[in-house]
DNA sequence: TTTCACTTTAGAATTATTATAAACTAGAAT
DNA sequence: ATTCTAGTTTATAATAATTCTAAAGTGAAA
């Protein structure tokens, strides 16, 4: 993803392309594979690049703005901190509690044959399958 | 569940039947249906009964002891606080984010036809299906 | 270039949970 | 029954993730 595309991505999302946002967007979206991170891990990774100064709150702000704009998925897992996922298609997860690692599962790899119907007045928004791993 | 049974349940779990534990155990397990709660909601409900004085820490301690003994399931949901579930059989959940309510789904009501295999060296511990609801 | 709404920032505030250390207590030993 | 002790409870402090706040900074429209 080129610099121009990043700027465009931000602008079309109604986000002013500030230095911080551009840096974070490049870091997150300029990659082949899907990327899972927590605010803490992202902060550490960004610190190594030092190109721009980031307050922790800015990372929170930016991540939430990206989330709101639909560029990130929030994945809440057992435990305290939230994970974010650059894969915004509908998908499922393996979770390895030993390493606290999330691994994407393509929707195609999970086929659900039977689901209960939603309680009265409610509809199903989405179905998340969470596969916990052990050794 | 009679008083004696509660005492027994505690003792066989290696938990000394203190006033607090007995009260909490009665409140949690002396009911027909499965019961979902957070530490906060449980605390509020117990406060209404005032029979015994409970420190918040005691509720945490007790709930964790019950969890450890296998009398409660911990269900971690999007958001901050953890839910506990008196249904300790394997099962799935509806989650209604409007009301922050969890609803049990029997394992029989979800049939999964296809699952990916676990990453190398890992095994599947369990599969949780989480159905998010909307109106 | 000026202006201003949107952003960033540092630090304080909040919230859920865990840790601590002193006071308490169930039940075994005397 | 009384004493003893390890397991518990308690109030409070500590921790950790996240959100809030208010002041300073900055894109970009005019």
A117 touches chain B (CB under 8 A): no
Cα–Cα separations (whole angstroms), residue A53 to A48, A49, A100: 11, 10, 28
Interchain proximity A119–B133, CB inside 8 Å: yes
Distance CA A5, CA A22 (A): 10
Q: What is the mean pLDDT of residues A17-41?
A: 92
Q: pLDDT per residue over A54-104, tens digit each?
A: 899 999 999 999 999 999 998 876 556 788 999 998 899 998 877 778 889
Residue with tokens 């000394």: B16
Nucleic acid strand C within 7 Å of B17 CB = yes
Sheet holding A36-37, edge to edge: A36-37, A82-85, A73-76
Q: What is the mean pLDDT of residues B94-121?
A: 91
What is chain A's length?
135
Of A75 and A13, more confident: A13
Give me the CATH topology for the region A3-76: Arc Repressor Mutant, subunit A (1.10.10)
Structural domain spans, chain B: 3-82, 89-133
Strand partners, B126: A132
Distance CA A34, CA B71 (A): 38
Q: pLDDT per residue over B17-74, tens digit each?
A: 999 999 999 999 999 899 999 999 999 999 887 667 789 999 999 999 999 999 999 8
Give me the CATH topology for the region B3-82: Arc Repressor Mutant, subunit A (1.10.10)
Compute the nearest-CA separation of A53 from chain B (Å): 29
Of B76, B122, B134, the CB nearest to A125: B134
Q: pLDDT per residue over B74-86, tens digit each?
A: 887 666 678 999 9
Q: What confidence score (pLDDT) does residue A71 get?
A: 94
How many other CB atoms are there within 10 angstroms of residue A72's CB atom? 22
Q: For residues A10 and A2, is the Cβ–Cβ distance under 8 A?
A: no
A129 touches chain B (CB under 8 A): yes
């Amino acid at each position: 993803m080129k610099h121009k595309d990043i700027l465009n991505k931000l602008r079309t999302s109604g986000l002013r392309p500030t230095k911080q946002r551009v840096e974070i967007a490049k870091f997150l979206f300029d990659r082949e594979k899907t990327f899972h991170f927590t605010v803490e891990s992202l902060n550490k990774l960004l610190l190594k690049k030092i190109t721009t100064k980031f307050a922790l709150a800015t990372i929170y702000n930016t991540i939430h703005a990206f989330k709101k704009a639909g560029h990130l998925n929030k994945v809440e897992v057992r435990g305290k901190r939230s994970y974010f996922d650059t894969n915004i298609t509908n998908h499922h997860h393996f979770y390895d509690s030993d390493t606290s690692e999330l691994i994407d599962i393509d929707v195609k790899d999970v086929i659900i044959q039977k689901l209960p119907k939603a309680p009265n007045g409610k509809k199903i928004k989405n179905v998340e399958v969470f596969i916990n791993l052990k050794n």
